[in-house]
A and B are shown apart, each in its own frame.
Chain A
Amino acid sequence: MSGYNFAYLDEQTKRMIRRAILKAVAIPGHQVPFGGREMPLPYGWGTGGIQVTAAILGPSDVLKVIDQGADDTTNAVSIRRFFARTAGIETTTHTADASVIQTRHRIPETPLRADQIIVYQVPLPEPLAKLEQSRAETRQMHALAEYGLMHVKLYEDIARYGHISISYDYPVMVNGRYLMSPSPIPAFDTPKMHRMAALQLFGAGREKRIYAIPPHTDVKPLDFDDHPFRLTRAPQACGLCGARDSYLDEVVMDDRGGRLFVCSDTDYCAGRQSMRQDEDAAA
């Protein structure tokens, strides 16, 4: 597309963002401020993620964008088209075929590889924000690794509900040093971050923060010795592909309370369905 630089942002801006990314990779889990630009979509629609993606894309990259696991939602479709037009790159919906995956609120079920990068859209990068209003104070807490307060939140959960009730954006310790918000992915996805082969980048547009988890880095959910982090998942199998290991969305089917549990990862689900058909055909 003429009139635009490759991947929309000018090269100076991309360099600035790359510097922030490099710093973020060097200090896993630490929030690095960056000069976030105005993007042609509103805050909350992935402006942070888009800027990170724009800064790392090359002409040979293949981009996949998901929103809540789906490739076909408005947000995913428009971001994919945005880069297809401004960078002229190839896009895909297949996790395995993508070199860069931008995501909102999910990690694909298919394990990511060392030659892939996942970019998370982050609304609220500061995990302590809800507990401590002062920015100066939370920065201080990060600097000194004073994270007792986060455990107070977990304590309150157990005292109130008998278990840790955080079901998404589950706070994690990165590389044993920084407390980090994994963005609003379900707690179900949190273990996938641990020692992931792919580079994980996080962009928060409104808050103008970038952070990262380098490949094979320890990512540990916060918990108590006697209340360890536990995976939670709806007990059903996917109504379309039968998967029992994937994260499920609950879909209301009719006005009579009929509902269906289906994989939130549409690519994963489609892949399993076509495999089934192949097996059926073979049989």
Chain B
Amino acid sequence: MSEHLLSATGLHLSFGAIWALDGVDATLWPGEILAVVGESGSGKTTLLHVLSGRSAPDAGLVAYRDTEGVAHNVHAMPAPQLRALHRSDWGFVHQNPRDALRMEVSAGGNVGERLMAQGARHYGVIRESAIDWLRQVEISPSRIDDMPHTFSGGMLQRLQIARTLATHPRLVFMDEPTGGLDVSVQARLLDLIRTLVARLGIAVVLVTHDIAVARLLADRILVMRHGRVVEGGLTDQVLDDPQHPYTQLLVSSVLQA
């Protein structure tokens, strides 16, 4: 049996008197998609930031197991190592693609940046890879030299995904990746994420307030409230047979299409 890719134990983080994380444990297996759901203020985004090393917890441990099977304490890692990890093995997909993309750099340059950051020094190869990734996210390669500001919201999000996946990360953190998009655009993006992630065997921690998104993408789900995980397990089991009062409320509040 393989080992956890990421494991968090006893995470605590308070903002003043408010516990954003109040004793959270979480694990992730290689290739697994874990959804973290909850209302805004539940601590799910904070959890994402702590898991990815972007913010430090007051207490608790986040361990990442690298390709050699060596476990690293994410929050004790030297900054260069953590940054290198974020550039290579890890990816982060923001809700607003403008937070991640370089808006003054062409689509191709955006996709190629992580490759160049990893030392790619052959223009032709970088360009081929950019074209390949644009195709994979269903952006016409003819748009490769266009500036992101000429792209629609859905295209920008797909460009961000191409940029993130170009270095074949093992673990991608996603913060409401379909938020702020039209429903039809969302469906396309969901399918894209699902297909790419399955094909590339990427593990994902997905934060979303949208239970339908969690159901379609995630193997496993954590339900958060007031900085605690109130329920966790197989996605369809938690959503179809919720045990905790809060989960029952959450599930029953979803509009059925």
Contact = CB atoms under 8 A, between A and B. Distances in A.
Answer whether A and B touch in the complex at a CB cut-off of 8 Å: yes
A99 B145 CA distance: 49
B32 interface: no
Contacts of A168: none
B102 interface: yes
Given A144-B79, A148-B118, A152-B102, A158 B123 contact: yes
A226 B124 contact: yes
Interface in B187-236: none
A144 B87 CA distance: 12
B121 A225 contact: yes
A223 B91 CA distance: 27
B83 A152 contact: no
Contact of A155 (B79, B84, B112, B114): B112
A143 B83 CA distance: 12
B204 to A, nearest CB: 24
Contacts of A156: 105-106, 109
Contact of A224 (B105, B113, B117, B123): B123
A151 B108 contact: no
Contacts of B114: 148
A155 B126 contact: yes
A229 to B, nearest CB: 12
A256 interface: no
B16 interface: no
Given A146-B83, A148-B117, A159 B109 contact: yes
A213 to B, nearest CB: 23
B116 A151 contact: yes
Interface in B105-137: 105-106, 108-109, 112-114, 116-118, 121-124, 126-127
Nearest to A164: B123
Interface residues on A, range: 10 to 19
A160 B107 CA distance: 12
A149 interface: yes
Nearest to B84: A144
B83 A155 contact: no
B26 interface: no
A134 B138 CA distance: 33
B104 to A, nearest CB: 9
B117 to A, nearest CB: 3
Interface residues of B, number: 24
Contact of A152 (B87, B112, B124, B145): B112
A103 to B, nearest CB: 31
Contacts of B118: 148
Given A144-B80, A146-B83, A155 B124 contact: no
A224 B121 contact: yes
A151 to B, nearest CB: 4
B83 A148 contact: no
B121 A159 contact: no
Nearest to B114: A148
B80 A227 contact: no
Interface string A149-167: 1011001101110000000
A155 B122 contact: no
Nearest to A159: B145
B109 A152 contact: yes
Interface string A188-207: 00000000000000000000
Contacts of A144: 79-80, 83-84
B178 to A, nearest CB: 28
A223 B116 CA distance: 11
A146 to B, nearest CB: 6
Contacts of A155: 108-109, 112, 116, 123, 126
Contacts of A152: 102, 105, 109, 112-113, 116
| Residue among A143, A148, A158 with max Cβ neighbours from chain B (10 Å) | A148
B144 A146 contact: no
Interface in A129-156: 140, 143-144, 146, 148-149, 151-152, 155-156
B211 to A, nearest CB: 37
B113 A227 contact: no
A225 B35 CA distance: 42
Contacts of B145: 159-160
| Residue among A143, A146, A155 with max Cβ neighbours from chain B (10 Å) | A155
Contact of B117 (A146, A158, A226): A146
Contacts of B112: 152, 155
A152 B115 CA distance: 10
Interface of B: 79-80, 83-84, 87, 102, 105-106, 108-109, 112-114, 116-118, 121-124, 126-127, 144-145
10 contacts: A144-B80, A149-B116, A149-B117, A151-B116, A156-B106, A158-B123, A159-B108, A159-B127, A160-B106, A160-B145
Q: Which 10 A-B pairs have the closest CB atoms?
A: A148-B117, A151-B116, A224-B123, A148-B116, A225-B122, A144-B80, A152-B109, A156-B109, A152-B113, A226-B124
